[in-house]
Structure formats: C-alpha cells, structure tokens
Structure 1
Amino acid sequence: MDQADAVSVTGPRRIVCLTEEPTEVLYALGESDRIVGISGFTVRPARARKEKPKVSAFTSAKIGRILELEPDFVVGFSDIQADIAAELVRRGVEVWISNHRSVDGILDYIRRLGAMVGAAARAEAWADELQRRLERIQAQAATLPRRPKVYFEEWDDPPITGIRWVAELVRIAGGDDVFPERAAEPLAKARILEDPSEVVRRAPDIIMGSWCGKKFRPEHVAARPGWDAIPAVRDGELHEVKSPIILQPGPAALTDGVDAIARIIRDWGLRHG
C-alpha cells in the first residue's frame, strides 16, 4: 500500500453492492475482501458470482439477508433503488446511492468509491488511465472520413433512447446520437419515444440495440412500419451491444462498451466511407 492510501485504513469493511459497478470497481482496486453481498445481475468480474452471496436485483432486495450480513456500508444506484435504500436506512444501515449519468460522472464515481475504502491513489490512477484511453479512441475516431448518425435503443416496447453516458461514448467513438436532447434526460420515462416514426425522420446510419435483460432482435426492428426507409435498416446496419457492458454506469462502459461501439462505427466507416 502506498503512502497516499495508508492515510485512510479504516472506512467500511463489510460492503453490500446493490448493482454491478461498485463490485467491479472494488475488485479492480484490490478491495474485494470488503464485499459481503452483490447484485444477482452481476457478471463482472465473473469470479464475484462464485465468491459473493447474491442479495438483490435492481428494483428489489432481500432486506433480511442483507441485514444478516451485517454491512457497515451499502452502495446502490439511482432513484430506482430509493425504496431499498430507505428501508435499509430505517434499519440503521449507512447507504450511498450514486446518481451519475455521464462519462465524467463514471470517472468521478471510481475516484470517490476508491477514496471511501482508502484506495484513493489507486482509484485516481485508474480513472486517469481510463480517461487517456477514451482520448485515444476519440483521436482514432477523428480520422474517419465522416461521422455516422446513430440511434441507440435501450428498450423496444416502448422504444427508449440511449442515456447520457451512452450518447457521450457514441460521440467519443466517432458517431452522433440522433436524440441528443433525450440523452440529457436522466429518467428512462423521459426517453420514451411516443412516436417511433421520429427515428425514420432522423434517418440514422447505424442502429444499436441494447435491450436490458433480453436479446436484441434486429429483424423485429427492421419490420417496424416505415422503418425500411431508414438508412441503417436499408443497409443492414443494425447491431447489438450487450447490455452488461454498456447499460451500467461503471468501468464496463468505458472499456468493453465503448470498444464495441467504436468497432461498429469503424466497420461502418470502412463499408460506407
């Protein structure tokens, strides 16, 4: 442990992670021994599923099981977990609900969580490394002959457009989100497309789908009324980005997630440049 980390040797020792991103961060920082419970949706890192008890979904949790683990700190995400957080707080548990929705927010989240467990220097170095990685991807994207218009869909029924960090990663990777005004909305209900034909009017060159919890079906998207006029549908540019690597605001989105987006855009550039 370096001197910067040594100044904070206390901090929470028994942490329950209600979502995947704190688990991935703590494992990456070498602090996995602090974790006593995880989300059942956790897939990163794979070993966490074998080593830690699963105590929550996203909108629900086994409150009794969590209390049995005697956590001194619980980490969750967003207003969707507000009821879980409130119940735990009423039971005397300290809870941190982060609510970051941007690339900068993810980087800051890594730094803050690292500081809370006495790993500030390691977290800072890792966040800086991830930032430089994004800058390299952006520099490579700047060499593309032109920028494709991208429609990113989080859910199909009703259609929900991409959240802010996704739109930012699309931009970093060389594309332009066709619903930037929707991406600025933090809540999913504000990103529901009341009129799906608006996608037709905005004419994306690429459609990316990441339907949380189920497989993206490009043939279903292509069959929507009037969507055959969309350049992406006409040219067969409908691609899945796996939800575990893009729909959680953590390290996965800044590594495998942006890599998948960049690869799709780069390949499109080679075919349509």
Structure 2
Amino acid sequence: MKQFIDQLGITHTFDSSPRRIVSLVPSQTELLYDLGLEDRIVGITKFCVHPYHLKSTKKIIGGTKNVHYDKIRLLKPDIVICNKEENTQEMVEELRKICAVWVTNIVTIEDNFRMITDFGQLFDKRTEARKWNDKLAFALSDFKKFINDVPVRKVAYFIWKKPYMVAGSGTFIDELLKLNHFQNHFASKERYPEIELDRMEEEGGLDLILLSSEPFPFKAEDGYEIVKSTDKAQAILVDGEMFSWYGSRLLKAFDYFKYLHNSI
C-alpha cells in the first residue's frame, strides 16, 4: 500500500499504481499523454483536444462541468483526475462514489511543478516527470532573461462576453500575466469578475486589451467595441491555451510569449 496527498491535502491510498484513468481536465489529459500514459487513459471530456486523436480512441464522458456518471462507472476507473477550478465540488463528491478522485489546484508555476511530480509518483512515471520539470525549469529561466528588459504594460485579460468577464487575482492566468510583465488591471478583484466597460478606466489608463481565444472565442470586431471604452488601449487576440493551460503545455507557452512580445 502506498499513500499520496493531492493538492487539496486529501490522502489517497492505493495497492498499486492506478491503471485506468479518467481525466476531466483538458490540460491534464495532455500532460498524462506526455508522461507516457496514453494506454491507461480510458475516459476524457469533449474539450480534451490535445492530442487530437484521443477523441477517437478514448470514451467521451461529457464536459468539464457536466459529466455522464453512468458512462464513467462503466469504464471501471481506478482514478478520476479533476481540478479545483475546472470541475465542481458537487461533481467531485459524486465521482468519489465511483472511485478515488485526485484534485489538482494550480495557481502558481510552482503548483504546476508539484502536479507533474505528483503524477510521476502516482503513476510510476518519475523519470518522465523529472524530465518534464527539468525542461520547464530551463525554459522558465530562459524566458525570465528574455522578459527582463521588456517594459511593464497595464492590461485587462478578457475571457467572456455577455457579460464581460476578465481574469482577476488568484488565477493561473494572473500568474502568467505577471511573468510577462503585464500588470493586471483587475488584480484587485478575485477570480473571474464581471465588469462594465464604461468603468474600466476608473483606476488609470490601460495599455493593452488581451482577448482570449477561450473559453469565449473573441474576434477582432469584439476588440473595437471594448477599445472604444478606453483612452488609448490596443486590443490583441491571444491564444487562451497558452495563458490558461498548465502541465506540459507551459513549455510551448514560453515560446508563444516571446512571439507575442515581439509582435506588440
């Protein structure tokens, strides 16, 4: 018997490494694949699009907020992988009636390193996890050198329309904004607050409006409407996966961030 503690502090006991995995978080599905666990993944969400072929080889059990419990039960999983932000507490409690539920909580880059280490231990992929953390640590150090001379810009990061919602503090997005020398205009608000466009400039001018590709797929025309409510801000479409996906995706994000800064 081995004991493991997830990022909510919950202790899990297993006789052996879990063999049948259901993943309810797209970025964590990608990480499991990159750790060499494709054969153990039996169920994923409809939003688990990387790598794309998994959608045709694994059972789709619903979305991240609504799943088909009967479909999951039929898969006879040893473990379900969830995330505190992506999945609801009610869902986690219901899934615990089926099998062990491992919940991650990723707010900082350090949390991301820990998640990868945890998965390496939990699934007997310690060497693969160490290699990924080493690659990420090297890429992070390299990016910090790149960003050192980049000026700080005040930004608002939009994630939704009707109502307009932005990323606030206590989010992984906010962590990556800070890493990019982007001062979050809404850092005084927690999580994902709804905002009114006509009040955006109350706390000082904005330099950039970042319009994410997910969960709402913003288009260029959306930027025109938002920019009208600011003094001089520039609207830019950004890849939401690079700012909100954690796990192994972060390696690609560092190169994307360099490209983004060079194009501003």
2:104 corresponds to which of 82, 98, 117: 98
Question: What residue in structure 1 maps to residue 5 of structure 2?
Answer: none
Q: What does 1:57-96 correspond to in 2, within 5 Å?
A: 57-78=63-84, 80-91=87-98, 93-96=99-102
Task: Give the Å deviation of 1:178.
Answer: 2.1
Q: What is the count of residue pairs matched by the alignment?
A: 247
1:259–1:14 CA distance, 2 compared to 1 (3 A)? same
Pick aligned residue for 1:31 from 33, 37, 44: 37
Question: Using the alignment, how far apart are the partners of 2:31 and 2:15 within structure 1?
Answer: 18
Q: Report percent identity of matched pairs.
A: 23
> How much is the aligned-residue C-alpha RMSD, in angstroms?
2.4
Question: What displacement does 1:224 show?
Answer: 4.2
Q: Which residue does 2:186 correspond to in 1?
A: 179
Deviation at residue 192 of structure 1 after TM alignment: 2.5
**Are the equivalent residues in 1 in contact too, given 2:31–2:248 (CA < 8 A)?**
yes
Give, in whole Å, the separation in 2 of the partners of 1:167 and 1:265: 17
Q: Which amino acid aligns with 2:181?
A: G
Q: Distance in 1 between matches of 2:175 and 2:91?
A: 29
Residue by residue over 1:224-256, the C-alpha shift from the partner in whole angstroms, topping out at 9 and shown as x without a partner, is 485152x22xxxx3222233343333332x233
The structure with more strand, counted as a fraction of residues: 2
**Structure-2 residue corresponding to 1:263:** 259
For residues 240 and 258 of structure 1, do their structure 2 counterparts lie closer, same or farther at Cα, with a shift above 3 Å needed?
A: farther
Query: 2:262, 2:206 → 1: CA distance?
Result: 15
When residues 261 and 150 of structure 1 are mapped into structure 2, their CA distance, relative to the original with a 3 A threshold, is farther
Distance 1:103 1:160, change over 3 A: farther
- Residue identity opposite 1:90 in structure 2: K
1:1-273 equivalent positions in 2, closer than 5 A: 10-78=16-84, 80-91=87-98, 93-144=99-150, 146-162=151-167, 164-182=171-189, 185=190, 187-188=191-192, 191-193=193-195, 195-201=196-202, 202-210=204-212, 212-224=214-226, 227-229=229-231, 231-232=232-233, 237-252=234-249, 254-268=250-264
| Shift in alpha-carbon separation, 1:11–1:216, aligned structure 2, 3 A | same
Please identify, of 33-42 and 128-137, the stretch whose mean Cα deviation from structure 2 is larger. 128-137
Q: Give the Cα separation in 2 of the matches to 1:15 and 1:225.
A: 45
* Secondary structure of the corresponding residue to residue 260 of structure 2: helix
* TM-score (norm: length of structure 2): 0.83
Q: Which moved more, 1:125-134 or 1:216-225?
A: 216-225
Mapped to 1, the partners of 2:107 and 2:251 lie a distance apart of 16
